[in-house]
Amino acid sequence: MGLKKIIIYILIGFIVSGLFFGVMFYFMNNRQPREVAITYKTYEYNAGEFSTNLGSTRSYFKGSIIIETTDKNLSTKFEEKNAELRDSIISTLIGKKADEILDTNGQLELKNEILKVVADIVNSDKITNIYFVDYIIQ
Protein backbone atom coordinates (compact mmCIF):
# COMPACT_ATOMS: atom_id res chain seq x y z
CA MET A 1 0.00 0.00 0.00
CA GLY A 2 1.38 3.32 -1.00
CA LEU A 3 1.80 6.42 1.08
CA LYS A 4 -0.74 8.27 -1.12
CA LYS A 5 -3.47 5.67 -0.38
CA ILE A 6 -2.84 5.90 3.38
CA ILE A 7 -3.09 9.71 3.28
CA ILE A 8 -6.29 9.51 1.19
CA TYR A 9 -7.88 7.03 3.66
CA ILE A 10 -6.89 9.23 6.61
CA LEU A 11 -8.39 12.32 4.93
CA ILE A 12 -11.59 10.44 4.08
CA GLY A 13 -11.78 9.21 7.71
CA PHE A 14 -11.37 12.75 9.05
CA ILE A 15 -14.00 14.13 6.68
CA VAL A 16 -16.51 11.35 7.44
CA SER A 17 -15.97 11.57 11.22
CA GLY A 18 -16.16 15.40 11.07
CA LEU A 19 -19.47 15.21 9.21
CA PHE A 20 -20.78 12.58 11.64
CA PHE A 21 -19.89 14.57 14.76
CA GLY A 22 -21.04 17.84 13.17
CA VAL A 23 -24.47 16.38 12.40
CA MET A 24 -24.69 14.89 15.92
CA PHE A 25 -23.72 18.24 17.47
CA TYR A 26 -26.33 20.07 15.38
CA PHE A 27 -29.18 17.73 16.36
CA MET A 28 -28.21 17.63 20.03
CA ASN A 29 -28.20 21.43 20.33
CA ASN A 30 -31.38 22.05 18.35
CA ARG A 31 -33.30 19.30 20.08
CA GLN A 32 -34.35 21.46 23.03
CA PRO A 33 -37.83 22.96 22.73
CA ARG A 34 -37.96 26.67 22.22
CA GLU A 35 -40.18 28.90 24.29
CA VAL A 36 -42.89 30.52 22.25
CA ALA A 37 -44.12 33.90 23.42
CA ILE A 38 -47.88 34.11 23.18
CA THR A 39 -49.36 37.56 23.42
CA TYR A 40 -52.97 38.25 24.16
CA LYS A 41 -54.85 41.47 23.63
CA THR A 42 -55.72 42.85 27.03
CA TYR A 43 -58.29 45.38 28.13
CA GLU A 44 -58.18 47.61 31.19
CA TYR A 45 -60.99 48.70 33.46
CA ASN A 46 -60.40 51.59 35.84
CA ALA A 47 -62.01 50.56 39.12
CA GLY A 48 -61.50 54.06 40.44
CA GLU A 49 -59.81 55.64 43.40
CA PHE A 50 -59.90 53.97 46.78
CA SER A 51 -59.22 55.55 50.13
CA THR A 52 -59.71 53.58 53.32
CA ASN A 53 -58.20 52.75 56.67
CA LEU A 54 -56.03 49.66 56.91
CA GLY A 55 -56.71 47.09 59.61
CA SER A 56 -57.31 48.28 63.13
CA THR A 57 -54.39 50.70 63.05
CA ARG A 58 -54.36 54.35 62.09
CA SER A 59 -52.84 53.59 58.70
CA TYR A 60 -54.49 54.85 55.55
CA PHE A 61 -54.51 53.58 51.94
CA LYS A 62 -55.16 55.80 48.95
CA GLY A 63 -54.74 54.77 45.35
CA SER A 64 -56.36 53.89 42.07
CA ILE A 65 -56.82 50.33 40.92
CA ILE A 66 -56.94 49.12 37.33
CA ILE A 67 -58.18 45.64 36.42
CA GLU A 68 -56.67 43.95 33.37
CA THR A 69 -58.58 41.28 31.47
CA THR A 70 -58.41 39.40 28.17
CA ASP A 71 -62.20 39.53 27.68
CA LYS A 72 -63.49 42.78 26.20
CA ASN A 73 -67.05 41.97 27.29
CA LEU A 74 -66.13 41.96 30.99
CA SER A 75 -66.09 45.75 31.09
CA THR A 76 -69.91 45.74 31.02
CA LYS A 77 -69.94 43.26 33.92
CA PHE A 78 -67.51 45.48 35.82
CA GLU A 79 -69.83 48.45 35.33
CA GLU A 80 -72.92 46.45 36.34
CA LYS A 81 -71.25 45.20 39.50
CA ASN A 82 -69.24 48.32 40.28
CA ALA A 83 -70.66 48.76 43.79
CA GLU A 84 -70.02 45.11 44.68
CA LEU A 85 -66.49 45.29 43.23
CA ARG A 86 -65.63 48.44 45.16
CA ASP A 87 -67.08 47.05 48.40
CA SER A 88 -65.12 43.81 48.08
CA ILE A 89 -61.88 45.59 47.24
CA ILE A 90 -62.33 47.96 50.20
CA SER A 91 -63.07 44.98 52.48
CA THR A 92 -59.88 43.31 51.27
CA LEU A 93 -57.88 46.47 51.92
CA ILE A 94 -59.38 46.97 55.39
CA GLY A 95 -58.32 43.43 56.29
CA LYS A 96 -54.65 44.31 55.71
CA LYS A 97 -52.15 46.07 57.95
CA ALA A 98 -49.82 48.70 56.57
CA ASP A 99 -46.65 46.71 57.28
CA GLU A 100 -48.11 43.71 55.42
CA ILE A 101 -48.45 45.58 52.12
CA LEU A 102 -45.42 47.85 52.30
CA ASP A 103 -43.02 45.16 51.06
CA THR A 104 -42.99 43.57 47.62
CA ASN A 105 -44.34 40.18 48.74
CA GLY A 106 -47.21 41.84 50.59
CA GLN A 107 -48.13 43.90 47.54
CA LEU A 108 -48.08 40.80 45.35
CA GLU A 109 -50.26 38.93 47.87
CA LEU A 110 -52.71 41.85 47.99
CA LYS A 111 -52.89 41.94 44.18
CA ASN A 112 -53.59 38.19 44.10
CA GLU A 113 -56.32 38.53 46.74
CA ILE A 114 -57.99 41.38 44.87
CA LEU A 115 -57.68 39.45 41.60
CA LYS A 116 -59.43 36.45 43.18
CA VAL A 117 -62.17 38.64 44.66
CA VAL A 118 -62.80 40.36 41.31
CA ALA A 119 -62.78 37.04 39.43
CA ASP A 120 -65.33 35.60 41.88
CA ILE A 121 -67.65 38.59 41.55
CA VAL A 122 -67.73 38.61 37.74
CA ASN A 123 -67.46 34.81 37.59
CA SER A 124 -64.57 34.80 35.12
CA ASP A 125 -61.07 33.38 34.91
CA LYS A 126 -59.97 35.96 32.34
CA ILE A 127 -58.72 38.53 34.85
CA THR A 128 -54.98 38.72 34.19
CA ASN A 129 -53.64 41.39 36.52
CA ILE A 130 -54.37 44.11 39.03
CA TYR A 131 -52.47 47.40 38.84
CA PHE A 132 -52.10 49.97 41.60
CA VAL A 133 -51.85 53.58 40.44
CA ASP A 134 -50.89 56.40 42.82
CA TYR A 135 -50.35 53.94 45.67
CA ILE A 136 -49.96 55.77 49.01
CA ILE A 137 -49.95 54.38 52.55
CA GLN A 138 -49.74 56.74 55.52
Q: What percent of the chain has pLDDT over 70?
A: 96
Give the pLDDT of residue 83: 92
- CA distances to 29, 37, 44 from 61, rounded to whole Å, are 52, 36, 22
pLDDT digits 0-9 by tens, 14-63: 898 889 888 888 877 776 666 777 777 889 999 999 988 887 778 888 99
Domains (ranges, CATH) in the chain?
A: 43-137 (3.30.479.30)
Q: What percent of the chain has pLDDT over 90?
A: 32
- Residue 94 to residue 7: CA distance in whole angstroms: 85
CB 65 within 8 A of CB 93: no
Q: Mean pLDDT in the chain? A: 87
- Please give the Cα distance from 44 to 125 (Å, whole number): 15
pTM here? 0.69
